[in-house]
Structure 1
Amino acid sequence: MRITLVGSRHFGVTTLNMLREHSVSVVRVVVADADDRLAAAAKAAGIEVQVQANPKLVVASEIAPDTDLIITAHSHARIGKDALAAARLGGIGYHPSLLPRHRGKAAVEWTIKEGDPIAGGTIYHLADRMDAGAIAAQDWCFVKKGETARELWERALAPLGLKLLADVIDYAKVHKALPAKVQDEQFATSAPSLS
């Protein structure tokens, strides 16, 4: 399976490392910033790095030829329809909430702000609307009393994301397709930046 990884920062790097250990071929890494740590990790691993022309949008020409699946890991760029069409299975991302709850950039912060006793993570199909694509996999965890968003992310949600991504990739390798369950819009909430 040939993967184009779009992402940044620490979660991008840990996702790259998980993919490299998971019998898939990461053929290109796409980043918004050439100085990002994900770009450095990819170069060190001998993987081609593509810097986005527009940091808010990934286009088809930035996706590696013959890509089977696009995976996003801490990317705030929209993956254009043309880019999704360039990959045989389209694209998936990890969102640190139980979608459709807390759609948006600050999902973990809103989990804490709302006092949610349970958090979770979702692998979802990339779509036109942010965090609104079909669900490929989902799991949950408890939120500790007094836990900060960063503590929850590091303790539970980042590791959960890596596990769920690995599970979906394993499914795709066997079935040559991705699981998909449409999100129930009546439960959708937004999680805009708090700053």
Structure 2
Amino acid sequence: MKKLRVFISGQKYFGELVLNLCNNMPFVEVVGVCAPLDDKYITKTARIFNIPVIPAGTLNADTMPDNVDVGITAHSFDYIGTRTRYKAKIGWIGYHPSLLPRHRGRSSIEWAVRMRDAVTGGTVFWLNSGIDRGDIAYQDILFIDPKLYGMEPKKAAKLLWEHHLQGLGLSLIETALTDINKGIIIKKPQHNAFSTFEPNTDVKDVFKPDLLMLERYSSKSS
């Protein structure tokens, strides 16, 4: 039986989880990984299974293996350019921890907490030239425990990711690969009228007036 040939661009623990997921799916063959060479998770695991590793920052259509069916981004900070995307026969999918088109950007979980969203979730989508703007394949929701609003937002976001959204992402990627292998391709355009994009909160000079309002509100109510 012909296997689904997968290439993963990722890093850290989530990258390793996606690699292990793919290795455990009998119809999937991981043909390569793009990751930091000193990564203790996905790179280490790839070498154990003799999977070729491309250094992070060097991925392009020339360095990517041939005959890839599906590319996956798993906590990847590498930009997947047009030629690289089209080199995968079926396309590239990625996981974003929000209900796209809401909270596009790197700090999506933290912004859901800062804005006191009652519901968040995760989305597997098809990569395109925009940031988190590709067609949606699969989504699932998650209710946010109101207790998290009283925490420092980064800590709350970390808890949401580690205890809920990370596992949700694995489940959605597993569903996507299973369907793709069966020839089921789901692509639903995002509704841009409902989109939001917030800046990376790790950048020191972020200016977001509503963020300042939220922080003042939090200090008064605590």
1:191 Cα deviation (Å)?
A: 2.6
> How large is the Cα RMSD of the aligned pairs?
1.1
Aligned partner of 1:186 among 161, 179, 193? 193
In structure 2, what residue type is equivalent to 1:163?
S
Give the greater-gyration-radius structure (CA).
2
Q: Contact 2:124–2:139 (CA<8 Å) still a contact in 1?
A: yes
Whole-Å separation in 2 of the counterparts to 1:170 and 1:159: 17
Q: Contact 1:138–1:164 (CA<8 Å) still a contact in 2?
A: yes
Whole-Å separation in 2 of the counterparts to 1:108 and 1:36: 23
1:22-76 C-alpha deviation (Å, 9 max, x unpaired) = 1200110011x2101211111112111111444xxx3112322100000000002
Q: Contact 2:56–2:78 (CA<8 Å) still a contact in 1?
A: no
Aligned partner of 2:11 among 8, 12, 32? 8
TM-score by length of 2: 0.83
Whole-Å separation in 2 of the counterparts to 1:52 and 1:65: 18
The 3-state SS of whatever aligns with 1:180 is coil
Q: Which consecutive residues of structure 2, in runs of 5 or more, have no partner in the other structure?
A: 149-155, 203-222
Matched, 1:34 2:17: no
The 3-state SS of whatever aligns with 1:62 is coil
Q: Which residue of 2 aligns with 1:123?
A: 124
1:165 Cα deviation (Å)?
A: 0.3
The 3-state SS of whatever aligns with 2:89 is coil
Whole-Å separation in 1 of the counterparts to 2:179 and 2:198: 29
Q: Which residue of 1 aligns with 2:157?
A: 149
In structure 1, what residue type is equivalent to 2:84?
A
TM-score by length of 1: 0.94
Count of aligned positions: 190
Q: Which consecutive residues of structure 1, in runs of 5 or more, have no partner in the other structure?
A: none
Q: Contact 2:73–2:95 (CA<8 Å) still a contact in 1?
A: yes
Whole-Å separation in 1 of the counterparts to 2:22 and 2:198: 28
Q: Hey, which bits of structure 1, 4+ residues long, moved more than 4 A?
A: none
